[in-house]
Amino acid sequence: MKALLVGTGPTLYFLARDFLEQGDDCTLVTPSEEEAVSLAANLSATVLHGDGTDPLLLERAGARRADVVVAILPADHDNLATCQVAQRRFGVARTVSLVNDPDHLQVFRRLGVTATVSSTQVLADLLRGQAGLRDLACFAPVEDGRAAILNLTLQEGFAAVGRVLDEFPLPEGASVACILRGAEVIIPRGRERMRAGDQLLVLAVRERIEEAVRTLRSGS
């Protein structure tokens, strides 16, 4: 697969590294000359420096032959422009845009972007719900943040500690997908007993994230 990545920052670097490790052909476009030099030194990828929304530069970067274009520039309007130029002018089948304003998740799709990714939506919901982030090591939004996978470490005194999974009243729309216990990775079937120190990977729809975390912590 040929991927064209347009953006800045660590996300661009790690995304490119991931594509390359999968054996994909990867070209990068970044607006900063300094960053372009550093990326070229650290990755075995073609790196161009310039305006990644400019049709002429995207053509030079090989947009015509790209299977996917990913836009992770800081501004939403630039990401939209990159995706639309790629799709409309160069016929790129799949375009993916990072989105800051959650309102743009749907809007960009209506404007032809294949997929939109927001890292703010789930975080905003969690903060608004005051679920607290203390025991949450990380979470990953799924489908634009309509669901999320979150990593919760069970502390001594949590309601879930000592309880058997399928007897524990997790809300509808939430389930424990995996238990990480020391070096062990347990895919639970329901009869497992949860212990303090366990890391739970919880899969939940957006509306149930807060309730799921609260229930695991303090009961209902």
CB contact set of 55 (below 8 Å; sequence gap of 6+): 85, 89
For residue 216, give the nearest of 167, 152, 140 by alpha carbon: 152
- The single residue among 27, 30, 84, 97 that binds another protein, judged by CB under 8 A, is 84
Beta bridge partners of 199: 153, 180
89 binds another protein (CB under 8 A): yes
Nearer to another protein, 99 or 200 (CB): 99
Question: Per the structure block, which two tokens stand in for 72?
Answer: 């992770």
Nearer to another protein, 39 or 85 (CB): 85
Q: Could you tell me which stretch among 4-12, 105-113, 153-161, 180-188 binds another protein (CB under 8 A)?
A: 105-113
Helices (H), the chain: 9-21, 33-42, 55-60, 76-84, 90, 104-110, 120-128, 209-218
30 binds another protein (CB under 8 A): no
60 binds another protein (CB under 8 A): no
Question: Per the structure block, which two tokens stand in for 210?
Answer: 């807060």
Q: Could you tell me which stretch among 37-45, 103-111, 132-140, 152-160 binds another protein (CB under 8 A)?
A: 103-111
Question: Per the structure block, which two tokens stand in for 70?
Answer: 């990913």
Q: Give the Cα separation of 139 and 161 in Å (integer).
A: 21
Nearer to another protein, 91 or 132 (CB): 91
Kindly state the smallest distance separating residue 56's Cβ from another protein, in Å.
Answer: 7
CB 200 within 8 A of CB 173: no
- The single residue among 41, 110, 169, 191 that binds another protein, judged by CB under 8 A, is 110
- The single residue among 49, 104, 208, 217 that binds another protein, judged by CB under 8 A, is 104
CB contact set of 128 (below 8 Å; sequence gap of 6+): none
Site for another protein in 111-130 (CB under 8 A): 111
Kindly state the smallest distance separating residue 54's Cβ from another protein, in Å.
Answer: 7
* Contacting residues toward another protein, per CB under 8 A: 53-56, 75-78, 80-81, 84-85, 88-89, 101, 103-104, 107, 110-111
